[in-house]
Chains A and B, each alone.
Chain A
């Protein structure tokens, strides 16, 4: 059977398609203001957002998921800022966006839950410029050492990645210059106030330590699911990690340990930030969503589902003690021991150093 196309049929089809295409945005515009949120997949689970959508019939949330923080910045920087209304950059990266004029300040009159931010975030200079907040802390946690308690004799600290050869070939480090170099600095005892502004001599020491580290490593890891696999298969017994493999593998019956080295623990925090071009009705909707994300309904869900801690105390009284322990908010003084990630002024040289070590 031959398939004939004539001009009239083709035009009809095209016209029908055009009509359909034209109708749908009108429908949406009448029904709702759509807020486009660029974020991590595990922060935008439907059940986390349901209470907000129920309470705000006029607002829809369109989600775009990011794979890395850098990818998010690259997208906005390459002109993607017009298509997104709310982003989720790391607290240490907000500076990049602010210096590129990509953000507008947070309006605390509309984001009333901002008053409940923990002191560590209120007093931090990160995410702010000229007294205005551009990236409002959203949720936070630590990146600890995770290990197979059944295969290690003692709780490790950072030194396990730099000296001795008891666990040689059974260790893994994240392939990330910023954290890799911070850990070497903590191991070498470089004071926190100098850590992000190290001079040439200190960087040379770091490089030496990292070269020694490379010989002990099984591999550098790039994705957390990959690291989880390496733990499960016994290829790696101890790694600088994120928290999730600890809970995931424990739930599957492995005897896992989580260590917070006394030399310091890396604390991280992601923020919510609004691109400069968002305005009017949409901006109001965005701030409503931001306020919800810092409020009790969302915080409660995140504490259990994440499990992660919100940056505000909104939900703190609604969470069980056991869950509070899990997300490190039972005793908030623990935050004083964290070394919060920052963007070093000589970061390009850090990346070059990291690549030199890996290529050696």
Chain B
């Protein structure tokens, strides 16, 4: 009993720091979302006007929807690419495992901007890919849509966030006991059935964790769409940025930010429910396998 008391006492400062550093700014933002603005004066009479403006504006509704759609899209793409990669690293590689994992993470050390500009060199009208296509003779003038298009945004986003998906999945595959697959085969399951009924459910928590991480990061990424997305590269985050900066409409900016947070929280809640109902989730929470 005494140990638990000490643990509680030790966790107080950590809890207080988290509360002060994370929750307080969000609370202030929440309060601001009910204020209004008149030129440079913030008027502190509570109002739902900002939320009504979001609901009434097809632009903001579309941008919010687009953010979550990109998040889900990129999560799906990285899952499809990452799943076999994670399986390969966890189950087929022995000696070079740590080397491969490091290699996977190397792009993350270079910083987003460098990676984005590298992609520009690859995808540009006079870039590597277009030059190659023209040299082979597949096209006679550069494909403009390779850069400054939604296609470019999706390529770069998938590239940037793939490692986060692979790491989540790799952990799940490492925890997967191969004897279970052998048992499934012994009991007459075909490889497809074994995958659907054993492998997939057991790696599902890793998949969900990876997907959530990618999803959240894509929703919050405005630099990539801005720098390679071209004229259609606007995101809800850059709109919030405009509202806080140039328009000095902190209340509306706060309201949009909180709308996004609420929707994200909903996704997290759903994911938490799914994970807690899965076998591995039960094992993690309940301490029994």
User: Measuring CB to CB, which residues of chain A are less than 8 angstroms from any residue of chain B?
Assistant: 68, 70-71, 73-74, 77, 96, 99-100, 169, 175-178, 214-215, 217-220, 222, 226, 233-235, 347-348, 351-352, 354-356, 358-359
Contact = CB atoms under 8 A, between A and B. Distances in A.
B245 interface: yes
B107 to A, nearest CB: 21
Of A68, A100, A351, most B-chain CB atoms within 10 Å:
A351
B148 interface: yes
A340 to B, nearest CB: 18
Contacts of B247: 177, 347-348, 351-352
B226 interface: yes
Contacts of B233: 219-220
A235 B127 CA distance: 10
Contacts of B144: 169, 218
A100 B250 CA distance: 15
A222 B40 contact: no
A77 to B, nearest CB: 8
Given A96-B40, A347-B246, 9 more contacts: A99-B41, A175-B226, A176-B246, A177-B247, A222-B226, A233-B126, A351-B246, A359-B234, A359-B239
Contacts of B230: 217-219
A30 B234 CA distance: 52
B248 interface: yes
B246 A219 contact: no
Contact of B245 (A71, A234, A355, A359): A71
B125 A220 contact: no
Contacts of A356: 59
Given A99-B40, A222-B226, A214 B231 contact: yes
Contacts of B249: 348, 351
A358 B234 contact: yes
A307 to B, nearest CB: 27
B244 interface: yes
B239 to A, nearest CB: 5
Contacts of A351: 242-243, 246-247, 249
A43 B51 CA distance: 42
Contacts of A354: 242
B227 interface: yes
14 contacts: A68-B245, A74-B245, A96-B248, A177-B247, A218-B230, A219-B148, A219-B229, A219-B231, A234-B126, A348-B37, A351-B242, A351-B246, A358-B234, A359-B59
Contacts of A358: 231-232, 234
Of B40, B57, B147, B244, most A-chain CB atoms within 10 Å:
B40
B232 to A, nearest CB: 8
A218 B231 contact: yes
Contact of A99 (B39, B234, B246): B39
Contacts of B245: 68, 70-71, 74
For this complex, into which size category does the number of interface residues on chain B fall? Answer: 20 to 34
A256 B239 CA distance: 33
A346 to B, nearest CB: 11
Contacts of A175: 226
B124 interface: yes
B242 A359 contact: no
Nearest to B236: A359
Interface string B212-254: 0000000000000011011111100001001111111100000
A355 B40 contact: no
A275 to B, nearest CB: 15
Nearest to B241: A70
A68 B40 CA distance: 18
B63 interface: yes
B58 to A, nearest CB: 8
Interface in B18-64: 37, 39-41, 57, 59, 62-63
Contacts of A215: 231
A178 B231 contact: no
A218 B148 contact: yes
Contacts of A347: 246-247
Contacts of B239: 355, 359
A343 to B, nearest CB: 9
A39 B242 CA distance: 21
Contacts of A176: 246
A352 B50 CA distance: 13
Interface string B263-283: 000000000000000000000
B246 A355 contact: no
A348 B242 CA distance: 10
B220 to A, nearest CB: 17
When A and B form their complex, which 9 residue pairs have the shortest distance between CB atoms, in order from nearest?
Answer: A70-B245, A358-B234, A351-B247, A217-B231, A219-B230, A356-B59, A359-B59, A100-B40, A99-B40
Nearest to A213: B231
A148 to B, nearest CB: 13
Of A68, A178, A354, most B-chain CB atoms within 10 Å:
A354
B69 to A, nearest CB: 13
B63 A359 contact: yes
A257 to B, nearest CB: 20
A34 B243 CA distance: 34
A135 to B, nearest CB: 15
Contacts of B127: 233
Contact of A73 (B62, B227, B248): B248
A267 B40 CA distance: 24
B24 to A, nearest CB: 14
B247 to A, nearest CB: 4
A235 B125 contact: yes
A233 B130 CA distance: 13
A177 B242 contact: yes
Of A77, A214, A359, most B-chain CB atoms within 10 Å:
A359
